[in-house]
Structure 1
Amino acid sequence: NHIPRYNIAPTQDIAVVRLDQGHKHRELSLLRWGLIPSWAKDPKIGNRMINARAETLAEKPSFRVAFRKRRCLVLADGFFEWQKVEGAKRPHFIHRQDDAPFAFAGLWDHWQQDGKEIQSCTIITTTANSLMEPLHNRMPVILSEETFPIWLDPEFQNRNALQDLLRPCNADLLEAYPVSTQVNNARNDVPECVNRVKI
């Protein structure tokens, strides 16, 4: 009974797919966006961990264990990016040209302290492809479906092979268009957030 979302902000729950504890079956979960490492003293650290850079996540203390053991797919059918134009930021919606849903490469972790538990995740970013470059120098890693089994399998430990998956997707796969600035307010979670506007 998934309710469509049109404007998801960090610290809110997002839909992810990961393997169950037996590593046999895929399960759909809602995890907080903003990874809180299991060793963190303060969960507010997750507010800064919404993205993990593909180039450095294998070394970063916040992400390296999750990169080895807790990889996930973050489900979406589009995302927003803000282009700096004449001192202002203009929001754009990016989606697949065929409107199909897709999966970002993600990492997840489990934090527990004083009886409180939070399961959280982050989205991995890489250098921008030619479609994204005019908007931003980074973009989320969009995985192809054939790579899902490798990415999700915690027993697959070939770091170079995993790192090789974290590349910008083909620019021809995507379309970007400007949208209303109402997306700047996370309280505006309505279909109009993804409507094309003229500029």
Structure 2
Amino acid sequence: MNRAAIFEFFRRLAENNPDPQTELEFGNTYQLLVAVTLSAQATDVGVNKATRALFERVKTPQDMLDLGEDGLKEHIKTIGLFNSKAKNVMAMAEILVRDHGGEVPADRDALTELPGVGRKTANVVLNCAFGMETFAVDTHIFRVANRTGMAKGKTPLAVEKGLEKKVPQPFRVGSHHWMILHGRYICKARTPECWRCDVVDLCGFKQKVLEKKKG
């Protein structure tokens, strides 16, 4: 995709959804960090079900420490890998209280030093909480970027670097949300629903599915 096509790609998605947001539910930056950490290899729907009651009780890292690891596990036991995630979330809370005054740092390096926080999680937090122009490459974005030809790459980092170079203003802050939602609901992994895609004419994917399968 050339720059004009990329601009038009996001312009159309923005026209349909002017203010894209993460589908994770949270009330503050710390809750967002916890939700994104829990969402690894899990669905947003599943995380939201587990965190609704949790977030009524836990609003700060100190609240999490007061709840304790066993209490956290009770809330998140429906989420995959909940034992290891609980350990990471508790260790993260301890570091935030000890080293950051209970606040989530607005810095990628500081975030990725926290247990259970990788580059993708850090990018989501920086984007959603602090409005930074970051590109959190999950499986949906990786697929959409490669499939459309917008930013091809063999690794998430390569795709992220490609998007950093190619995504124009005024779409940089919202771009990863538009791409995630597009990948989740239209440009699906097994059968992309090209027949109802608003940007199908801009896409470089050769095996387009232009008719809905019957049955």
TM range (shorter): under 0.3
Q: Please, what TM-score do these two structures have when normalized by structure 1?
A: 0.23
Bigger-Rg structure (1/2):
2
Q: Which has the higher strand share?
A: 1
